[in-house]
């Protein structure tokens, strides 16, 4: 029974809730009891916990079948794959000083994973490493991962991090459990089939510490009944901080698994006293499940914009090449639906017209406005609407290099009756010879990183037909970057197994990421720019301080944004702290790192970024200089560039 339905969220796996059970030879009974109890799947041990390979009498002629939980025939293949997560024996300790235990652990681990693969299980839960050192455990898991087809391995990690002033005496509890996970996944080479199952405890680390995990591959949250409180009516509930964390789990497709002492041999007590008022058997953990379902159902529905962007979440897209390639009709249509963007442009043009033409001159003066990169006409429409609302007269030149868009422009002008107001120019703005100077120059050449679709180069070529006191809309724009944890994006890039993809900047709707520090400005361009020694290449060194209470964190790359001033106080942008609400024309850009960088608390992250210009292309180069040095990415634009 799924937790519930939320509008626009039907793709989410988080509506399914599991339960952790004990070992049983009767898997059909275990599954039937828990599914009828309301749970969607079980996390069940596959092998008798008393089994040890070293205790087996290998001289026996009987062969000795392994003590797995029943035959593979007792459940259908769909039941095994859809309703069972294998729980690997919790006693295994592959880094034990005891050689027999270490050997037994390795043999058992491989036997159980092999059996789980045979059953076509979707995932197996690996026990937490027993200590700070987990090299041999990780080595064995990495060996297994090399031969797995599609099954996921969930490494169980307790969600804990001591405060900086913690004086706890138990060393095992002094560590940041993220460090344990990080050590393990580094030894396993960031394998994309190795994920995390977080054990949610009764106390939680700081909010910033928790945020790190949402850029990591967390697939499950195991919450014990001991972590629940009891409300005035005697029912389980969670603290406000736990509730907020659960909402984040739901939003990040993390499945919830309920665990607790009451699961002990519960399948053998089907006919016990757990009955509701109607005398029907009731699962002993049903009240916990009902509370989790309540938290899920009370979440606000996804906004329309978020529903529209669902399919783009964490999906890497190559940035547009607007000068080299002509946009397709579908691309134009998507951008044209962004009414917020064009309302901002209309506001900017209105303010510029009011500033430029006093009320008493409005009936007699015609403003020359040029839309450079007119596309299919949305900026032309916004400009004419601005003229209408301000009572100013306008003459518009619509300059567009895409001959296919020009066809649509001509149809639009005839349809709207703009023949006496709008002149269509089928030309590259850099090559066009204008018949007169413009009062206002309007463009929408901005990319996700501001200048990455070559707005500076295009407007440099166009500003020659702007009057000396003319206005450019936008008047300036600045790019920003911030370090992020983005395990999924990193693994998606790594899957290509080449240098080219690690040196490419991607447009992506960031979702399962952790933003580790506030973004900082990188490159700024201002228009018009009549300076004699004007250059469009740029270099910036940035220093990021990750808050100490975050703990250590992994930097997989950098998220890039822009903020633009259209005119005076009219802004447009996607930088998180100043982003224009409900605007969807731009997703952030992602600059990956070939080798992720682990940053310790209090240690600054030094980043260098270049915008390089050649005769035929523009490209970015980037690197990390501290705490460790990375190679300079994309030297000479060898992998990624934007053609002039």
User: According to the annotation, is 341 in a ligand binding site?
Assistant: yes
User: According to the annotation, is 428 in a ligand binding site?
Assistant: yes
User: Out of 453, 457, 503, 575, which one is annotated catalytic?
Assistant: 453
Peptide bond into 391 cis (omega under 30): no
- Please name which of 148, 249, 160 lies closest in space to residue 191, comparing C-alpha atoms: 148
- Beta-carbon contacts of 552 under 8 Å, excluding residues fewer than 6 positions away, are 176, 178, 179, 182, 598, 599, 600, 601
Tokens linked to 48 = 């008798």
Tokens linked to 406 = 């020009």
Q: Give the whole-angstrom CA distance, residue 42 versus residue 32.
A: 10
- Identify the residue whose tokens are 């059970």: 21
Burial (CB < 10 A; 0-12, 13-18, 19+), residue 177, is: buried
For residue 225, give the DSSP letter. G
User: Out of 112, 216, 444, 457, which one is annotated catalytic?
Assistant: 444
179 is catalytic: no
CB 250 within 8 A of CB 12: yes
Torsions phi, psi of 472, nearest 5? -105, 130
Other C-beta atoms closer than 10 Å to the C-beta of 496 total 12
Give 301-304's long-range contacts (Cβ < 8 A, gap of 24+). 301/6, 301/7, 301/8, 301/9, 302/6, 302/7, 302/8, 302/9, 303/582, 304/8
CA angle 406, 412, 417 (to 5 degrees): 130
Please report how many Cα atoms fall inside a 13 Å half-sphere around the Cα of residue 394, on the Cβ side.
30
User: According to the annotation, is 617 in a ligand binding site?
Assistant: no
Tokens linked to 190 = 């960031």
Other C-beta atoms closer than 10 Å to the C-beta of 117 total 17
For residue 213, give the DSSP letter. G
Q: Give the whole-angstrom CA distance, residue 340 versus residue 308.
A: 15
Alpha-carbon distances of 176 from 166, 179, 216, rounded to whole Å: 11, 6, 15
Q: Give the whole-angstrom CA distance, residue 334 versus residue 342.
A: 13
Task: Output the DSSP codes for 81-145.
Answer: HHHEEEE--TT--TT-S-HHHHHHHHHHHHHHHHHHHHTT-SEEEEPPPSSS--HHHHHHHHHHH
User: According to the annotation, is 400 in a ligand binding site?
Assistant: yes
Any bridge partners for residue 617, and if so which? 643
CB 221 within 8 A of CB 255: yes
User: According to the annotation, is 27 in a ligand binding site?
Assistant: no
CA angle 421, 423, 424 (to 5 degrees): 140
Give 48-54's long-range contacts (Cβ < 8 A, gap of 24+). 48/23, 49/23, 49/89, 49/90, 49/91, 51/89, 51/108, 52/104, 52/108, 53/103, 53/104, 53/107, 53/108, 53/111, 54/100, 54/103, 54/104
For the chain, the residue count is 644
416 is catalytic: no
Q: Is 279 strand, coil or helix?
A: coil
User: According to the annotation, is 300 in a ligand binding site?
Assistant: no
Q: Give the whole-angstrom CA distance, residue 299 versus residue 307.
A: 15
- Identify the residue whose tokens are 């984040």: 248
Instruction: Map 426-484 to HEC letters.
Output: ECCCCCCCCCCCEEEEEECCCECCECCCCHHHHHHHHHHHEEEEEEEECCEEEEEEEEE
Q: Give the whole-angstrom CA distance, residue 354 versus residue 475.
A: 17
Q: Which residues are annotated as a binding site for S-adenosyl-L-methionine?
A: 332, 341-342, 400, 428-429
Q: Which residues are annotated as a binding site?
A: 332, 341-342, 400, 428-429
> Which amino acids are annotated catalytic?
444, 453
């Amino acid at each position: 029974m799924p937790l519930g339905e939320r509008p626009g969220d039907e793709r989410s796996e988080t509506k399914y809730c599991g339960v952790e059970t004990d070992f049983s030879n009767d898997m059909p009974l275990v599954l039937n009891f828990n599914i009828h109890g309301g749970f969607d799947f079980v996390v069940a041990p596959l092998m008798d916990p008393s089994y040890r390979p070293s205790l087996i009498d290998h001289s026996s002629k009987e062969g000795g079948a392994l003590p797995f939980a029943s035959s593979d025939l007792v459940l259908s293949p769909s039941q095994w794959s859809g309703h069972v997560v294998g729980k690997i024996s919790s006693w295994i300790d592959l880094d034990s000083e005891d050689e027999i235990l270490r050997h037994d652990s390795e043999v058992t681990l491989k036997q159980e994973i092999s059996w789980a693969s045979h059953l076509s299980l979707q995932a197996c839960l690996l026990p937490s490493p027993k200590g700070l050192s987990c090299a041999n455990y990780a080595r064995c898991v990495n060996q297994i991962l090399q031969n797995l087809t599609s099954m996921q391995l969930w490494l169980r990690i307790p969600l804990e991090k001591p405060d900086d002033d913690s004086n706890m005496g138990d060393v095992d509890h002094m560590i940041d459990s993220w460090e344990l996970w990080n050590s393990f996944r580094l030894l396993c080479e960031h394998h994309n089939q190795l994920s995390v199952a977080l054990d949610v405890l009764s106390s939680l680390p700081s909010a910033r510490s928790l945020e790190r995990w949402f850029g990591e591959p967390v697939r499950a949250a195991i919450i014990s009944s001991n972590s629940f409180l009891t409300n005035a009516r005697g029912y389980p509930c969670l603290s406000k901080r736990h509730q907020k964390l659960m909402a984040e789990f739901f939003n990040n497709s993390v499945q919830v698994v309920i665990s607790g002492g009451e699961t002990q041999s519960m399948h053998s007590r089907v006919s016990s006293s757990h009955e509701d008022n109607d005398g029907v058997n009731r699962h002993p953990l049903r009240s916990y499940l009902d509370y989790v379902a309540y938290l899920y159902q009370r979440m606000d529905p996804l906004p329309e914009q978020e529903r529209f962007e669902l399919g783009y979440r964490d999906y890497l897209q190559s940035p547009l090449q607007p000068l080299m390639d002509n946009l397709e009709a579908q691309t134009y249509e998507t951008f044209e639906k962004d009414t917020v963007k064009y309302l901002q442009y209309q506001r900017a043009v209105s303010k510029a017209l009011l500033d430029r033409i006093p009320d008493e001159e409005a009936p007699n003066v015609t403003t020359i406005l040029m839309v450079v990169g007119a596309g299919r006409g949305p900026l032309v429409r916004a400009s004419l609407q601005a003229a209408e609302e301000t009572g100013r007269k306008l003459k518009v030149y619509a300059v567009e290099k895409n001959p296919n868009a020009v066809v649509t422009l001509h149809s639009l002008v005839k349809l709207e009756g703009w023949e006496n107001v709008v002149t269509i120019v089928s030309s590259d703005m850099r090559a066009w010879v204008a018949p007169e100077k413009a009062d206002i120059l309007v463009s929408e050449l901005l990319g996700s990183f501001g200048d990455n679709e070559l707005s500076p180069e295009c407007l440099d070529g166009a500003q020659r037909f702007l009057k000396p006191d003319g206005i450019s809309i936008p008047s300036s724009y600045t790019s920003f970057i911030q370090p992020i944890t983005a395990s999924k994006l990193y693994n998606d890039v790594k899957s290509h197994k080449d240098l080219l993809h690690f040196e490419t900047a991607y447009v992506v709707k960031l979702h399962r990421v952790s933003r580790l520090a506030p973004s900082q400005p990188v490159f700024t361009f201002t228009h018009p720019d009549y300076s004699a020694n004007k250059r469009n290449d740029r270099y910036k060194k940035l220093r990021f301080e990750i808050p100490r209470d975050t703990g250590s964190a992994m930097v997989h790359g950098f998220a890039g944004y822009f903020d633009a001033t259209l005119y005076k106080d009219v802004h447009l942008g996607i930088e998180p702290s100043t982003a224009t609400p409900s605007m969807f024309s731009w997703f952030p850009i992602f600059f990956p790192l070939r080798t992720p960088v682990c940053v310790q608390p209090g240690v600054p992250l030094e980043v260098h970024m270049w915008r390089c210009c050649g005769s035929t292309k523009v490209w970015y180069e980037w690197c990390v200089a501290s705490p460790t040095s990375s190679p300079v990415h994309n030297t000479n634009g060898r992998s990624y560039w934007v053609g002039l």
